[in-house]
Structure 1
Amino acid sequence: MPVPPPPLFASMDALYLHLLRSCASLPHVAAVHAHIARAHPAASLFLRNSLLAAYCRLGGPLPAARLLDEMPRRNSVSFNLLIDAYSRAGLADRSLGTFARARATRVKPDRFTYAAALAACSRAGDVRAGKAVHALAVLEGLAEGVFVSNSIVSMYARCGDMDEARRAFDVACEHDDVSWNSLLSGYVRAGAREETLKVLALMCRCGTGWNSFALGSVIKCCASSLDITGHIAEAVHGCVLKAGLDTDVFLASAMIDMYAKKGALSNAVALFKSVREPNVIVFNAMIAGFCRDEAEVGKEATVQALSLYSELLRRGMQPTEFTFSSVLRACNLAAEFGFGKQIHGQLLKHSIQGDDYIGSALIDLYSNSGCTEDGYRCFRSLYKQDIVTWTSMISGFVQNELFEKALRLFQELLCYGLKPDLFTISSVMNACASLAVARTGEQIQCLATKSGFDRFTVMGNSCVHMYARSGDVDAATLRFQEMESRDVVSWSAVISSHAQHGCARDALCLFSEMMNAKVVPNEITFLGVLTACSHGGLVDEGLRYYEIMNKEYGLAPSIKHCTCVVDLLGRAGRLCDAEAFIRDSGFHDDPVVWRSLLAKCRIHGDTERGQLVADRIMELEPTSSASYVILYNMYLDAGELSLASKTRDLMKERGVKKEPGLSWIELKSGVHSFVAGDKSHPESNAIYKKLSEMLSKIEKPANTGNVSRESNDVSSREQNLEGCHSEKLAVAFGMIHLPQSAPIRVMKNLRVCRDCHSTMKLISGSENREIILRDAIRFHHFRGGACSCGDYW
């Protein structure tokens, strides 16, 4: 008689087990469950546990818990499955509750039960509950086994209690690779570099072989430690070679990253070249190493990063999100914006442009290249906009002087309920400083205080800068005095603020205090000191500080420092010395220093020298309007109308256009802007009426020495707008809306003309009001018919 073929499944349990393993969703498991309930009500405990495991895998702990309640019989496996499911779902309390329930029944928990309970404590970071489970394991006699002892060590390490983790490790009867790895990873997570290295040495003395995980943990610790030396990094590299793991690409990428972070880029390159078959992770580590810090590696290294990316593509490798973010950073550091746009095209091709880190890198790329609209489109295209991407976009607007857009975007961020971080608020503060909108800045400062950011030095520096730029030097000084910790930026900001407000002696006193505080000045500090000397007419002091900047502090003068010295000498009438200084400074080919001398030639009426200087500037920068404007005004001051006319015709011939004068003032209703002869404002009639009333009260000098123009304008039309220059309209608007006790703060994008300066002095006396005017050079505080600059500007 022939033997029948064996059935496909030897039993019903085997059939159901096959179906459960094939389930891909919760409804499938529920269907199998229903069939078992109808056709096989007396299912074995093994089958019910398999059904429970399927629920945990596809449905989570809640449906699994319902099944456990319905089971007529349970064993330790049943409870272990549910304890682990609750733990993975982040429900530590329920996980430990199930553990307690298992102990309360006749089911005796085994080593897997305790391991699952300890894992729940680890994920929740609940060291107190972990200690309780540890104690129960000791009572049950299970803590001596390596499986449970490893779970105990891992639990303490993940909860950050490395003393208890080491104690549990030392009392364990047996150690395996997991034991050592758990202890090592705990020390790495805690940043305990010395202990990590000691454990690595102890492994060698105990005869335990080093594996890739242990060495990888040590390398990670060395890479993240700030005080690690190159010798230690090389010693760890030697351990890798001794263990015969030098071909492990995971360790190779970690060591490349370690060397790059320690500044040993040549070692990183040599290691990269020694890898026989580098994968994309190794390439990523080397690319990131090349663009770790531009100040350390230089532009050449960032260009090598881009070449390495091209090599990655030639080998047919698929770039990852980390590859693209590193390459975009390299494009930013190397100013290879064209290459960056090509990378953007590849991102679109791979459909990963919506990644958060990549999105921030793209925003930075376009912001640095001046294409803020493209950066804004990248920002809006992100699937998820976190605080990092919001900050990148706001900083991009500030960087490109789109301050109003930065403030609007910050307001939108708050409307979405996002919490700005320190860097977000600092960037917005810089926007407020540039716009000189003190009221908005005060509100943002309140938000920073509420968020706890006011204690940070960078926040205090931003506040000092904002108040100083808004015309409130007293508030800037007060905020500086309130700071708990001051760095060189803090001192430089408060010194520069006093310099810009004409408080030269106060600025120099602050510099002396800075020296007494043992804070080393930088280039910005000396720029503030030289500005103070220039605006205060302190020639000898300014020249002395310029000399010690290089001799005593080793700071090379920049074009800004040299311009300050030219301004210092020129204001004092030492035009010949100023010209000689320019020719010896090394910046004789820069039009900025010559333009400063040209302005002083106009002030002192040296038309002959001014003509020669103007010719030199136009040779260096033929399209800049500032030089033509100063020369035109100088001819008018000297009565050379024909030469002035020729200068204006030359501007038209060369297509040179002058920036229009703009003034603005901040009130509760917002920021109000004006140009000369502006009648677009809704309150235009009231403004002109108030201005006429103020002008009728003052008696201006019969001859101010020049024909007044809106900030040195050359247009014949605007010559007729003398009485309605932009700053006068802004002051009249402020007089209408601000109370008598409030100072009127007006900001202007160009220098104030002599006529307006004279008018502001007289109005401050006749109206008994304080007027603070910021022009392109400095602040003017008008009180009682006088100006803080002493007519020396």
Structure 2
Amino acid sequence: MATAVPTAALPTPGRAGPAPPRAPLRADPSYLPQLHAALIKSGELTGSAKSFHSLLEAAAASPTLLPYAVSLFRLGPRPPLSTPCYNVLMRAFLHAGHPEDALHLFIEMLHAASACPADQHTAACALKSCSRMCALDVGRGVQAYAVKRGLVADRFVLSSLIHMYASCGDVAAARLVFDAAEESGVVMWNAIVAAYLKNGDWMEVVEMFKGMLEVGVAFDEVTLVSVVTACGRIGDAKLGKWVAGHVDEEGLARNPKLVTALMDMYAKCGEIGKARRLFDGMQSRDVVAWSAMISGYTQADQCREALGLFSEMQLARVEPNDVTMVSVLSACAVLGALETGKWVHSYVRRKRLSLTTILGTALVDFYAKCGCIDDAVEAFESMPVKNSWTWTALIKGMATNGRGREALELFSSMREAGIEPTDVTFIGVLMACSHSCLVEEGRRHFDSMARDYGIKPRVEHYGCMVDLLGRAGLVDEAYQFIRTMPIEPNAVIWRALLSSCAVHRNVGIGEEALKQIISLNPSHSGDYVLLSNIYASAGQWKDAAMVRKEMKDRGIEKTPGCSLIELDGVVFEFFAEDSDHPELREIYQKVEEMIGRIKVAGYVPNTADVRLEVEEREKEVSVSHHSEKLAIAFGLMKLDPGATIRLSKNLRVCADCHSATKLISKVYDREIVVRDRNIFHHFKDGTCSCNDYW
């Protein structure tokens, strides 16, 4: 809405005499032309620069009236144009999202310098236009003009100059401007703090704030928003809580931007409960607040809560934006919530939201993590602009969906497109080699990282190589590779080796791997279970029992198997031997029917890993009640015939469930997609995309 603007007195039509009291001009399309006509008729428009300026300002106050304002400015009749008139229209162009037009007006003023010399407001507006356009060279030209005209002493010109350099990525130049200023009040400090914030220099934001406190510069709510945001990024909960205390003491909790920043800070510092209490206490919540809370849940790995809050957002009739959608897609990717994610994608299309690289990459990642690699490729190809993260998301998606060679071909295409790979890209490349048993290709790509791209391998890359060698049965070579690593191996690397020992029944190296793991991370139950299984597979039952006893003595409980399946937008959770579901009897009856039918097709239960002192029949019942079998049975009950069953598992799929699911896909003529903690398994017609190599 336009603010009320005083105008010159209008003569009473039909008689001379003193003018009536001045009335405010309102930015109303039907009102302004009438007023404009009255001013022309009275001669006031050409005779009073103040009246013209007021009319122009009223017309320029709203983007919908901007063409009318331009006509007033260009076509007349009007008095000679003045600097304030140029400033009004420059600001209007800037607010309407046309910074290039604002700069054209500035250049026009330079050519008419004697009639309309630029002032500090002109220079500040020109610099803001350069910021919007990231026009660094033009901004430097404006700076030179401002210096020549003596305008740089103005604090708003200086703050705009700092902002211009920050927007163009030259934060060092912004700091030079700040340091050279004779006086620096809160406006200047806020500008340099915002400059560091914009460029992701979170620690510098915190240090600048501490500098403000040291020199006694009064900060305001704008400062605090920047500082709290930085605290969230670096996990500085101590300073963030200090700011929260100040907000409470000074009664600043009515500022929604500040409360939203505090909420985001708490979420990023792991205090999601405090973030939610702030959110619930807000009198009104805009899309930014909703998005921050949804993002907080997603980052805290509370993805079901994130989707639940998104549903509340829809009921509150708050329109989500691209930031909201990125967080929702991330939550859907973690949960395997395909239907909800597809709804998000359709919403993006329906509302014609801009497919930014961040949103597009989130879509690619979501489809890949739901096992829909063809949809991921389609989303990838629909993006107008792709960066290295987009290519990497699809490479990793192909790697985990059993398309290792295609992932390597995509990597070659990435290089042909002139996109430089990152260290994360190479994690995807090495994963592709590992899951497809491409040992020589993996060695070649690992060696090329430092040689061809100057990327120093991190511990994650060494872990991929250990996994690659171990999966291929080269357990001794994998062990020697760890011993010769230039960096200290962590528990994840030793765990990859231990997993390989379990697959290839290497007792000696398995014992050494667990010993190293216990020294680094002694409370991970899966490691003990793996070694126990290694002993059992080698017939060393006493050793297997001893490992289980050690787990019990240390108070380490086995992580229960958990599988998630989404039906009609609702995510259902199943645990092994589940006893907490309203349709439990029907589910177990379906499991019994399912096991009976696949036995006819040749299924033989694999009870080798069941360490129970019970009869074989009870062992078979135990493996038939694994969480993925319960989830698959539930899917068969609820989904239409022929519909794909999709689920995600928190642990590695066991050998028995893998062989059973292959047969279920054949007997029931279903495609079943299972995401375990390592890869996707696409079961169809009695086969799996992993080729039994997982």
TM-score by length of 2: 0.87
Q: How far off is 1:569 after superposition?
A: 0.3
Q: Is 2:253 the partner of 1:353?
A: yes
Distance 2:52 2:569 in 1: 66
The residue number in structure 2 matching 1:20 is: none
Give the structure, 1 or 2, with the largest relative contact order (CA under 8 Å, sep 6 or more): 2
Q: Is 2:37 the partner of 1:95?
A: no
What is the DSSP-based 3-state SS (H/G/I as helix, E as strand, rest coil) of the residue aligned with 1:751? coil
Q: Amino acid of the residue matched to residue 37 of structure 2? A: A
Q: How far off is 1:684 after superposition?
A: 1.4
What is the DSSP-based 3-state SS (H/G/I as helix, E as strand, rest coil) of the residue aligned with 2:653? coil
What is the DSSP-based 3-state SS (H/G/I as helix, E as strand, rest coil) of the residue aligned with 2:682? strand
Q: Is 2:187 the partner of 1:281?
A: yes
Distance 1:187 1:68 in 2: 31
Q: Is 2:634 the partner of 1:733?
A: yes
Q: Is 2:129 the partner of 1:228?
A: no
Q: How far off is 1:293 after superposition?
A: 2.2
Does the 8 Å contact 2:87/2:121 carry over to 1? no
Distance 2:331 2:286 in 1: 21
**Which of the residues 386, 411, 415 maps onto 1:515?**
415
What is the DSSP-based 3-state SS (H/G/I as helix, E as strand, rest coil) of the residue aligned with 2:61? helix
Distance 1:703 1:408 in 2: 39
Q: How far off is 1:497 after superposition?
A: 2.0
The residue number in structure 2 matching 1:752 is: 653
The residue number in structure 2 matching 1:190 is: 99
Q: How far off is 1:392 after superposition?
A: 1.3
Q: Amino acid of the residue matched to residue 640 of structure 2? A: P
What is the DSSP-based 3-state SS (H/G/I as helix, E as strand, rest coil) of the residue aligned with 2:566? strand
Bigger shift: residues 608-617 or 494-503 = 494-503
The residue number in structure 2 matching 1:308 is: 211
The residue number in structure 2 matching 1:19 is: none
Q: Is 2:529 the partner of 1:629?
A: yes
CA RMSD of aligned residues (A): 3.7
Matches within 5 A, 1:39-188: 77-78=19-20, 81-82=22-23, 85-87=24-26, 90-101=27-38, 110-111=47-48, 112-125=50-63, 126=65, 129-130=68-69, 137-138=76-77, 143=78, 145-146=79-80, 153=86, 157=90, 160=93
Q: How far off is 1:151 after superposition?
A: 7.0
**Which of the residues 230, 254, 257 maps onto 1:330?**
230
Does the 8 Å contact 2:642/2:669 carry over to 1? no
Q: Amino acid of the residue matched to residue 707 of structure 1? A: D
What is the DSSP-based 3-state SS (H/G/I as helix, E as strand, rest coil) of the residue aligned with 2:446? helix
Distance 1:151 1:198 in 2: 15
Distance 2:605 2:329 in 1: 43
Deviations 1:278-310 (A, max 9, x none): 32223323333344423xx474x3442242143
Does the 8 Å contact 2:401/2:680 carry over to 1? yes
What is the DSSP-based 3-state SS (H/G/I as helix, E as strand, rest coil) of the residue aligned with 2:31? helix
Unpaired segments ≥5 residues, structure 1:
1-56, 161-184, 711-716
Distance 1:383 1:614 in 2: 54
Distance 2:202 2:59 in 1: 47
Provide closer, same or farther for how the CA distance between residues 534 and 723 of structure 1 changes in structure 2, counting only shifts above 3 A. Answer: same
What is the DSSP-based 3-state SS (H/G/I as helix, E as strand, rest coil) of the residue aligned with 2:571? strand
Q: Amino acid of the residue matched to residue 281 of structure 1? A: V
Q: Amino acid of the residue matched to residue 28 of structure 2? A: L
Higher gyration radius (CA): 1
**Which of the residues 401, 408, 413 maps onto 2:313?**
413
Q: Is 2:468 the partner of 1:568?
A: yes
Distance 1:109 1:219 in 2: 32
Distance 1:621 1:288 in 2: 41
Distance 1:98 1:198 in 2: 31
The residue number in structure 2 matching 1:667 is: 567
Q: How far off is 1:77 after superposition?
A: 4.0
Q: How far off is 1:322 after superposition?
A: 0.8
Q: Is 2:495 the partner of 1:595?
A: yes
Deviations 1:658-684 (A, max 9, x none): 322111212227222211111322221
What is the DSSP-based 3-state SS (H/G/I as helix, E as strand, rest coil) of the residue aligned with 1:453? coil
What is the DSSP-based 3-state SS (H/G/I as helix, E as strand, rest coil) of the residue aligned with 1:762? helix
Distance 1:136 1:560 in 2: 66
The residue number in structure 2 matching 1:26 is: none
Does the 8 Å contact 2:236/2:269 carry over to 1? no
Q: Amino acid of the residue matched to residue 86 of structure 1? A: L
Q: How far off is 1:334 after superposition?
A: 3.5
Q: Is 2:675 the partner of 1:774?
A: yes
Does the 8 Å contact 2:322/2:359 carry over to 1? yes
The residue number in structure 2 matching 1:500 is: 400
Provide closer, same or farther for how the CA distance between residues 556 and 364 of structure 1 changes in structure 2, counting only shifts above 3 A. Answer: farther
The residue number in structure 1 matching 2:554 is: 654
Distance 2:43 2:595 in 1: 99
Matches within 5 A, 1:370-769: 370-453=270-353, 455-668=355-568, 670-699=570-599, 704=606, 706-708=608-610, 721-769=622-670
Distance 2:45 2:202 in 1: 65
Deviations 1:179-212 (A, max 9, x none): xxxxxx89996246975885686688x5998754
Q: Amino acid of the residue matched to residue 120 of structure 1? A: A
Distance 2:208 2:89 in 1: 41
Q: How far off is 1:610 after superposition?
A: 0.7
Does the 8 Å contact 1:676/1:718 carry over to 2? no
Does the 8 Å contact 1:397/1:403 carry over to 2? yes
Q: Amino acid of the residue matched to residue 345 of structure 2? A: Q
What is the DSSP-based 3-state SS (H/G/I as helix, E as strand, rest coil) of the residue aligned with 2:512? helix
Q: Amino acid of the residue matched to residue 752 of structure 1? A: V
Does the 8 Å contact 1:708/1:755 carry over to 2? no
What is the DSSP-based 3-state SS (H/G/I as helix, E as strand, rest coil) of the residue aligned with 2:392? helix
Distance 2:90 2:202 in 1: 40
Provide closer, same or farther for how the CA distance between residues 319 and 755 of structure 1 changes in structure 2, counting only shifts above 3 A. Answer: same
Distance 1:240 1:669 in 2: 58
Unpaired segments ≥5 residues, structure 2:
613-617
Q: Amino acid of the residue matched to residue 350 of structure 2? A: K
Distance 1:132 1:192 in 2: 14
Provide closer, same or farther for how the CA distance between residues 768 and 588 of structure 1 changes in structure 2, counting only shifts above 3 A. Answer: same
What is the DSSP-based 3-state SS (H/G/I as helix, E as strand, rest coil) of the residue aligned with 2:25? helix
Does the 8 Å contact 2:120/2:157 carry over to 1? yes
Q: How far off is 1:419 after superposition?
A: 1.5
Deviations 1:470-494 (A, max 9, x none): 2222333333344444443333223
Provide closer, same or farther for how the CA distance between residues 137 and 228 of structure 1 changes in structure 2, counting only shifts above 3 A. Answer: closer
Q: How far off is 1:71 after superposition?
A: 10
Distance 1:489 1:675 in 2: 35
Q: Amino acid of the residue matched to residue 591 of structure 1? A: A
Distance 1:222 1:453 in 2: 26
Provide closer, same or farther for how the CA distance between residues 116 and 242 of structure 1 changes in structure 2, counting only shifts above 3 A. Answer: closer
Q: How far off is 1:346 after superposition?
A: 0.5
What is the DSSP-based 3-state SS (H/G/I as helix, E as strand, rest coil) of the residue aligned with 2:253? coil
Does the 8 Å contact 2:11/2:17 carry over to 1? no
What is the DSSP-based 3-state SS (H/G/I as helix, E as strand, rest coil) of the residue aligned with 1:93? coil
What is the DSSP-based 3-state SS (H/G/I as helix, E as strand, rest coil) of the residue aligned with 1:746? strand
Percent identical across equivalent pairs?
32
Q: How far off is 1:249 after superposition?
A: 4.0
The residue number in structure 1 matching 2:615 is: none
Does the 8 Å contact 2:134/2:167 carry over to 1? no
Q: Amino acid of the residue matched to residue 33 of structure 2? A: L
Q: How far off is 1:462 after superposition?
A: 2.5
Does the 8 Å contact 1:530/1:545 carry over to 2? yes
Distance 2:248 2:542 in 1: 60
Distance 1:771 1:246 in 2: 67
Does the 8 Å contact 1:74/1:107 carry over to 2? no
Distance 1:193 1:559 in 2: 51
